[in-house]
Structure 1
Amino acid sequence: MNAIEIRRPGGPEVLNLRPQPAPRPAAHEVLIQVAAAGVNRPDVLLRQGKYRGSGDVTGLIPGLEVAGTVVGSGPGVTRWRPGDAVCALLSQGGYAEYVTVDAGHCLPIPAGLTPVEAASLPETAFTVWHNVFQRGQLQPGERLLVHGGSSGIGVLAVQLARALGSPVAATVGSAGKAAAVQALGADPAINYRTEDFEAVLQASGGVDVILDMIGGPYTPKNLRLLRDDGRLVFINAMQGGPAEFNALEVMSRRLTITGSTLRPRSAEFKAALARAVEEHVWPLVAAGTVRPVVHATLPLAQAREAHELLESSTHIGKVVLTVG
């Protein structure tokens, strides 16, 4: 098969298309012929050698999510059969013509979706459901703030929270992104380059849950914005991890600070999360209430350009590689 591998830690130029042996499924795994693979920020961090716990990334194949067709399985697989159309969450390996994955981490492609649309969903859906609704415990009627509202994570979080009964605010980096995110249900969508999101949202009463991928200087602002018993959930720290805040304020207002990363979690955890996503999120996708937002598709051989686009932060929604 052909696959994109990381020659060495570095910039997008270290992504290299080369032939290599196709994987074989072990027990409880399926072999997927990949039609499309989502491109995500953790792929960039892995390529740079900055993904915590990744070790030496030389020779690794990036890619956390794919859509395609089951073409084989190992012992113990009961749900999936050759020919089944699935999408799946991976730990790595998605930028390839074939990939093996734990059968429990696969989901059926929702009716009406193309493989490209389906490939844009697993990593974002798993991340949003776990962090907003399980860790953040967002309840209907509570207000959510999504930083990076035009990102792949952001556009899904906005739609899913609105679909489940919560008003949503978002921060974005341009007027065009603000308009796009407003169209998905964010009100307000705040351009952080021209407005102070803390001032805007304090004037309207604060928020209950914050999904933050920025970190750094946003942290004290986030905590001040939270209502009593509010929850701040980190999924990245693009402006740095260290931050100062008033611990007494956290105590007196009963605030919760939490966060997570998905890739290192156990196979059992991911399988349970897949079941929750299929139960709670997939019906909304199938009904068209929540829809994939794909900014651009590029062929597998142009993985370098896909990473450059992602790092430019000019996209709205997901970037997807097409395979075959």
Structure 2
Amino acid sequence: MRRESINFLERETEKVTPRRRGLIFFIVIAVLLVLGGCVRYAMTTAIPQDPTSYDPITLEPKKPEGFLERIKHFVFSKEVKLEGERRDRINLLLLGQGGLGHDGPFLTDTIIIASIRPSTGEVAFTSIPRDLYVNIPGRGKRKINHANAFGEADNPGKGAELATRVIEETFSLDIDYYLRVDFKAFEELIDEVNGVRVNVEKKFIDIEYPAANDAYTSVSFQKGPQTMDGQTALEFVRSRHGNNGEGSDFARSKRQQKVLLALKEKILSFQTLANPIRIKNIIDTLGDHVTTDMQFSDMVAMMKLAKELDTSNIITLSLDNSSDGYLKNGITSDGAYILEPVAGNFEGINNAIE
């Protein structure tokens, strides 16, 4: 049997005539131009924003069909990296506002910094009280819940951007993303997952719960685990005048954290809602009731990350005015109630959040 070497270097080099040399040069240039176009195209489409481009179970981008598409995917595709992953901490600012049709529609009475450490799956919630007295660019010292409203007044639709800037400057913290929802979005999302299961720690009643036409109504909750629909959950997280130790912003912030965790668990267990197409449809339906600077690919990446988080041992920090808290009561020159750092600056608070 005749044996041939497969070492191409040992083979005799074919002589290239001037005519063929020109043809080869032309082919090389053409290939480079095509590849250059592919690179530009791939770099702009490597991270898909179309919900149909993701597998509904794994939340991974679908592998393309066709030989050339598969090659391009293999060479140019890249995994979505969330902002903050490089420093192993992702900070997401959660803002809750009433929305149009409510008093003070853009005042954010819910301000929570959700921090995630991807390498360990650890999660921390820091609740910021709405009465915290901070510096707001262009407005001077004001309550922190006014930042979003001022931002909306100056640049409609961009209030969350100013609120994010205020949080970053006040707490010396990088905020990677923000998510702002109003009452309508909150209710509809919880109804979409058929309610959330929440353990109410204390029985309480609030006879000063806001109602239509500047009136009040009563809401009450029994102690123990229960399933809440959207309206009930909203009443649970909004109540500020309950008895039995539930009549403060600090008690309310703890209830808000409870509902957020319950909602996270329900969303991840609700396979149809975790479907990228369903997520996109919900976002489109809610429209202006939800505002975020996250791209759709970021949302899918965040959903994937959420599946790996350790929610059995959440770290929580509520800035309050308790005896060992970081804040103290204060009154402004015009008689408004505010909260200020006990130390006179935010250094200790920033270290705690860090």
* Bucket of the pairwise TM-score, normalised by the shorter protein: under 0.3
**Larger Rg over CA atoms:** 2
Query: When the two structures are superposed, what TM-score results if normalisation uses the length of structure 1?
Result: 0.26
- More strand per residue: 1
Query: When the two structures are superposed, what TM-score results if normalisation uses the length of structure 2?
Result: 0.24
- More helix per residue: 2
